[in-house]
A = this chain, B = another copy of it.
Amino acid sequence: MKRTEIKKLFMSPESYLDVSVTVCGWVKTIRDSKSIGFIELNDGSSFANLQIILEQDKLENFSQVVKLNVGSALVVHGKLIMTPQAKQPFEIHAQSIEVEGASTPEYPLQKKRHSLEFLRSIAHLRPRTNTFAAVFRVRSVAAYAIHKFFNERGFVYVHTPLITGSDCEGAGEMFRVTCLDAKNPPLTETGEVDFSQDFFGKLTSLTVSGQLEAECMAMAFSNVYTFGPTFRAENSNTPRHAAEFWMIEPEIAFAELSDDMELAQDMIKFVLSYVMEQCPQEMEFFNNFYDKGLIQRLKGIISSDFAHVTYTEAIEILEKAKDKFEYPVYWGCDLQTEHERYLTEQVMKKPVFVTDYPKEIKAFYMRMNDDNKTVAAVDLLVPGIGEIIGGSQREERLDVLLKRMEELKLNPQDYSWYLDLRRWGGTKHAGFGLGFERLIMYITGVSNIRDVLPFPRTTGSAEY
């Protein structure tokens, strides 16, 4: 069967004028009036539906087809007719229609508006709605944009492992990966669980970051990035947290924090531009139904530089507005989402890089600044979301790194390979992590992370 995708018809209807075409797709709406019927058909190749005209005297199974339910799958053979007077530029006059798979009145996606909460309960069907067709196409296009951006700059794409025996951030909240008997695990002589008998011969978990492994690769290729799933066993039941999400982590050698921020800004702008160019109908949909100012705001971000502020300056700004906040503000505090959003939404009114955080609230591998109080860390905050990127220049000085690990009571032997990178040919280097779902929320205006993941995994929920 030679099938033509509906997108191709929209791209150049003229080239299909005098030929018979076969289109496949699902019925979005169907109505009939006496001897004529109208179907809006969608095959997922384009956001827009294709109008199909059925005529009783030309279509053998007219009376069967017009009684079909929404959601039915059809194969339509017909002729393309230009309709310059009508709302849609052309339509297909059906010559024959095969019902590939019928639907029933019980189909949950009848033509009406459904709440996002309800649609979450039918995640296997929701990609067929306008909202999720648009979200998941934007997600796909944005993912491609990220690969394209890094590829054009010669970055090597690295697949860092998800199952790990080490804990990058030096913090808990990891899922254990195991094949041991859940009820009666083998025990050591001292009565502890004997992980040496587990699949990998040791305790393993799902990674929270591929950064340390990406650093190994950056010390060979200079510029690398990861793009893969990451996990947090964090009991956060918020619209911004998922237990499984995708992260992009570039790592650049011979580079400092300023190079890192430049890269982050270029990347964000590239992805926004690419999505707006490739998905105009989807973006218009989000602008109309989810966030009236969306397109204008994104255009503003593409055309202006991001703001910069140090953590210390940010605290000064926030202290002046402390009555507005639930959480206290003081030098040394970790910024809460309310602080982050105030900074980017009320003060800067655009994305802002906050740099040079107190060492106490950041990870051991971040490069110590000369003040010995702050580290060369950076977070990018964006309106509507808060933190979307966290990054840093990495500590490349072996002695400084060892001292910091000692302060934090980290065992150097657990990180011997990481320290090797500083022993032999170490260089200044930096990187960041971008939460992919937060980027999609930012681009689409959709405010719950559960609605930008095809099958979200959150506290208490791993359906499908």
Residues on A facing B (Cβ under 8 Å): 1, 3, 5, 7, 24-27, 43-45, 71-73, 75, 100-104, 107, 123-125, 127-128, 132-133, 136-137, 139-140, 143-144, 147, 151, 154, 156-166, 175-180, 182-183, 185, 187, 192-193, 195, 199-202, 204, 206, 212-213, 216-217, 219-223, 228-229, 231, 233, 235, 243-244, 246, 253-254, 396, 417-418, 420-428, 453-457, 459-464
CA distance A1 to B430 in the complex (A): 14
B178 engages A158 (CB within 8 Å): no
Residue ID in chain B nearest A144 by CB atoms? B151
Complex contacts, A424 vs chain B, CB 8 Å:
71-72, 101, 103-104, 107, 125
Beyond A124-B420, A127-B221, A136-B156, 16 additional contacts (C-beta under 8 Å) are A24-B427, A73-B426, A124-B213, A133-B220, A143-B159, A158-B454, A161-B453, A161-B456, A161-B462, A163-B457, A165-B464, A175-B177, A176-B178, A176-B179, A213-B455, A228-B229
CB distance from A235 to the nearest CB of B (A): 8
CB distance from A217 to the nearest CB of B (A): 5
CA distance A140 to B179 in the complex (A): 31
A-B contact pairs, 11 of them (CB 8 A): A43-B222, A45-B154, A71-B424, A73-B254, A103-B423, A143-B157, A159-B454, A176-B179, A178-B178, A183-B192, A229-B229
A178 engages B179 (CB within 8 Å): no
Complex contacts, A455 vs chain B, CB 8 Å:
160-161, 213
Once A182-B193, A183-B185 are accepted as A-B contacts, the answer to whether A454 and B201 lie under 8 Å apart by CB is: no
Residue ID in chain B nearest A129 by CB atoms? B220
Once A104-B423, A177-B177 are accepted as A-B contacts, the answer to whether A463 and B165 lie under 8 Å apart by CB is: yes
B156 engages A140 (CB within 8 Å): yes
A161 engages B457 (CB within 8 Å): yes
Complex contacts, A461 vs chain B, CB 8 Å:
200-201
CA distance A195 to B183 in the complex (A): 11
CA distance A71 to B420 in the complex (A): 12
CA distance A418 to B122 in the complex (A): 11
CA distance A165 to B463 in the complex (A): 6
Instruction: Indicate which residue in B3, B159, B164, B192 contacts A246 across the interface (CB closer than 8 Å).
Output: B159
CA distance A176 to B205 in the complex (A): 10
Instruction: Indicate which residue in B72, B147, B176 contacts A425 across the interface (CB closer than 8 Å).
Output: B72
CB distance from A443 to the nearest CB of B (A): 15
A100 engages B177 (CB within 8 Å): no
Copies assembled = 2
Instruction: Indicate which residue in B139, B187, B204 contacts A159 across the interface (CB closer than 8 Å).
Output: B139
Residue ID in chain B nearest A212 by CB atoms? B464
CB distance from A201 to the nearest CB of B (A): 5
CB distance from A33 to the nearest CB of B (A): 24
Most buried by B among A143, A159, A253: A159
A-B pairs with the 10 shortest C-beta distances?
A44-B221, A127-B220, A101-B426, A200-B462, A24-B254, A140-B157, A124-B216, A124-B417, A73-B425, A71-B425
CA distance A222 to B45 in the complex (A): 7
CB distance from A384 to the nearest CB of B (A): 22
Complex contacts, A253 vs chain B, CB 8 Å:
24, 44
A193 engages B199 (CB within 8 Å): no
Complex contacts, A156 vs chain B, CB 8 Å:
44, 136-137, 140
Residue ID in chain B nearest A176 by CB atoms? B178
B44 engages A223 (CB within 8 Å): yes
B71 engages A421 (CB within 8 Å): no
B425 engages A254 (CB within 8 Å): no
CA distance A151 to B278 in the complex (A): 11
CA distance A422 to B71 in the complex (A): 11
Once A425-B26, A425-B72 are accepted as A-B contacts, the answer to whether A136 and B100 lie under 8 Å apart by CB is: no
B229 engages A159 (CB within 8 Å): yes
Residue ID in chain B nearest A436 by CB atoms? B159
Once A133-B220, A213-B455 are accepted as A-B contacts, the answer to whether A73 and B427 lie under 8 Å apart by CB is: yes
Residue ID in chain B nearest A178 by CB atoms? B176
CB distance from A190 to the nearest CB of B (A): 11
CB distance from A270 to the nearest CB of B (A): 15
